[in-house]
Structure 1
């Protein structure tokens, strides 16, 4: 158990800046060694929070939604947060399923899970394969590509657009707007409004002519969702699917091109793709940290005094690297008990992780089948990661391969 006096002596750690960007895993280990499984940290602008980096403690916080709630309006620091705070998009309350609690959350999340579960996974794999082939066709003849910009980042939204029953002619515009809305640039707010408008228009079309798609299923669900609720939750689904799945794909390709255990099997069977996908979730999980949970009353966590309204940042990557997990389960890379999809009531609703895995597995397999001599175009240590506290993904993934001009015939 952590000694609070020890924590006060050392003071909070900045969970941002160059030190974090250079080697987040080393910082997580240092925080754990200095403070234990729960540590005082400072977010951008030196806004205080608690960093939960122990596996058991993350499990405890995510399992107790009564004590550690999701509604960000509970936060006790709102008066000290500037209007231009860069993390505001992560904590600003909106009427989506992300910030609901209790029975309301179960109603909304249950409908989303049912809608995703109703979508046939064989058909999803076919959609993913067509998207992958179309993207590969665009650069296969060049012998080189950036697999982040030209492949991984383009896959999830194109697949999701098909699951939403979007007309193919409207998909490119939606993909551009969603990508811009998820960025932190000056056009993000306007792009978000355009996406909302597009989703509202899509919902009206599905109400008039339902189809075998997620919006139609949500309209018919017995949760009796309003149109506004469906639009908000469709936006959550797209955001949750895009960057995490894209980074999962990119991180997996990187692992398979840099680790001899996987490189040796590229020309063989495809069991190694599944192993690589799972190993990435343990060691380079796309969602590193998550804001968050908010204490509903004064309590203690790992010896630290948590006050009502305090923010807890879930250190998912740090929890996966907790030495206690390694000691208790040394073969943890071979199991699925990681925290990469969260846990508890507000974890990714079933079957969202399975949907993401179908997308990731299928598109990595298609890439390796189409370009069997794929290799990095730069030394592995020259690859750069995005400087994000929240996501773990490559800025680019340059590769080379033997040019091929034969179309896949499946796009």
Structure 2
């Protein structure tokens, strides 16, 4: 059965092995419609299943997708009942060693993602302190410098792909600098991160490259400390092992790079295709912030997150959830829940009650959110300042998204503009 059929067909029972019971067949998470029209698919899932829908991961592995805003708030706000401890998962006996989603749903990975209780709070504090020490002025200065360099490489051409040539390399260059990587390592890190997050055939290889690079950096900074995030984490004074710090840095890099790149790309797409944000293209800085916030509600880079595991039998959204069931956090579906979004056409303005950074004990640390916001906003403002007549070079309806149910970003964003000299007057 193909993904289109499985997403719409009905059956008297859920497929064998699927948690709970339902009158309709679960959706294959990662089907074509998650890429092309997720908003419509979330509406259908909500109509057919309610606030919690049965889904199937690669290999027909069952899980629940939490669609409701209130239900997601409940799940993320109760770390005891809905634990981050992946060892609780009842499906591990059927998961092969080469399962492509292992980088996203790992077992016995000593990272902050799967740590619970006081140990998690200690690790979160270490990460927050290391990022809190990043000077905001210096960060913005680095962001402007790197953004200008990337624009210098394209400004004389009159056209470019914003995603590949700008939005994608900018965050990783900033994060590599903050962490202490050499600049030439950036391209390899971008490829590894994209492969790992997309959850396809190169996912495990991407994870290995990132792990090796991080372990090497941690060992180097342990021997030769510097003024960077890695050195501050090593100097924290806690009893975390090098492996734990390496794993946490992998999480930080993955969570900081691709979502920030997609935040830039999705925001620029909105500004180029939606008349409400036309002022952004003519120096309207307030519109930049508003567009960025609108994207976090309507087109958030992180669509779905794995996950939480039920520590005991319970009820959620009218569903019977069994101990060991996996619950996926449907961030975008919750953001568009009609129970909280009465007027879906209205601008969200400064309302930041979205789930784009998560919620509860395991939400993205505030200093990490601030770093991402500085990188994304600076990147958008610099390109609009440097290329003020930026325009979409293809029909808006021809833009496509990467085939990932987890992160929603553009495959490319072709634009055109008046060719200009690079800074300093040289032509490239």
TM-score scaled by length of structure 2: 0.89
Aligned to 1:369: 385
2:368 is the alignment partner of 1:352: yes
Distance 1:13 1:176 in 2: 29
Tell me, yes or no, if the aligned pair for 1:178 and 1:191 is still in contact at 8 Å.
yes
Task: State the Cα distance separating 1:203 from its structure 2 match.
Answer: 2.4
Q: Which one of the candidate residues 52, 56, 62 is aligned to 2:76? A: 62
Tell me, yes or no, if the aligned pair for 2:280 and 2:288 is still in contact at 8 Å.
no
Distance 1:191 1:11 in 2: 33
Q: Secondary structure at the match of 2:341?
A: helix
Q: 224-233 or 168-177: which moved more?
A: 168-177
2:153 is the alignment partner of 1:133: no
Gaps of 5+ in 1: none
Aligned to 2:5: none
Distance 1:224 1:282 in 2: 39
Deviations 1:328-368 (A, max 9, x none): 99764430000011111111112211110110000000000
Q: Secondary structure at the match of 1:264?
A: helix
Task: State the Cα distance separating 1:22 from its structure 2 match.
Answer: 2.5
Aligned to 1:384: 400
Distance 2:372 2:173 in 1: 13
Distance 2:184 2:129 in 1: 28
Task: State the Cα distance separating 1:176 from its structure 2 match.
Answer: 4.7
Distance 1:344 1:164 in 2: 26
Q: 248-257 or 333-342: which moved more?
A: 333-342
* CA-atom RMSD in angstroms: 2.3
Task: State the Cα distance separating 1:123 from its structure 2 match.
Answer: 1.0
Distance 2:343 2:413 in 1: 35
Q: 35-44 or 283-292: which moved more?
A: 35-44
2:355 is the alignment partner of 1:339: yes
Q: Which one of the candidate residues 15, 19, 23 is aligned to 2:29? A: 15
Superposed, 1:249-328 pairs within 5 Å as 249-327=264-342
Distance 2:347 2:73 in 1: 19
- From the superposition, tell whether residues 168 and 22 of structure 1 become closer, same or farther in structure 2 (CA, over 3 Å): closer
Tell me, yes or no, if the aligned pair for 1:317 and 1:340 is still in contact at 8 Å.
yes
- From the superposition, tell whether residues 301 and 174 of structure 1 become closer, same or farther in structure 2 (CA, over 3 Å): closer
- From the superposition, tell whether residues 253 and 74 of structure 1 become closer, same or farther in structure 2 (CA, over 3 Å): same
Gaps of 5+ in 2: 1-12, 15-19
Q: 114-123 or 256-265: which moved more?
A: 256-265
Q: Which one of the candidate residues 92, 95, 110 is aligned to 2:106? A: 92
Aligned to 2:422: 406
Distance 1:11 1:406 in 2: 56
- From the superposition, tell whether residues 408 and 302 of structure 1 become closer, same or farther in structure 2 (CA, over 3 Å): farther
- From the superposition, tell whether residues 362 and 301 of structure 1 become closer, same or farther in structure 2 (CA, over 3 Å): same
Distance 2:78 2:87 in 1: 18
Task: State the Cα distance separating 1:192 from its structure 2 match.
Answer: 3.5
Task: State the Cα distance separating 1:85 from its structure 2 match.
Answer: 3.1
- From the superposition, tell whether residues 185 and 19 of structure 1 become closer, same or farther in structure 2 (CA, over 3 Å): closer
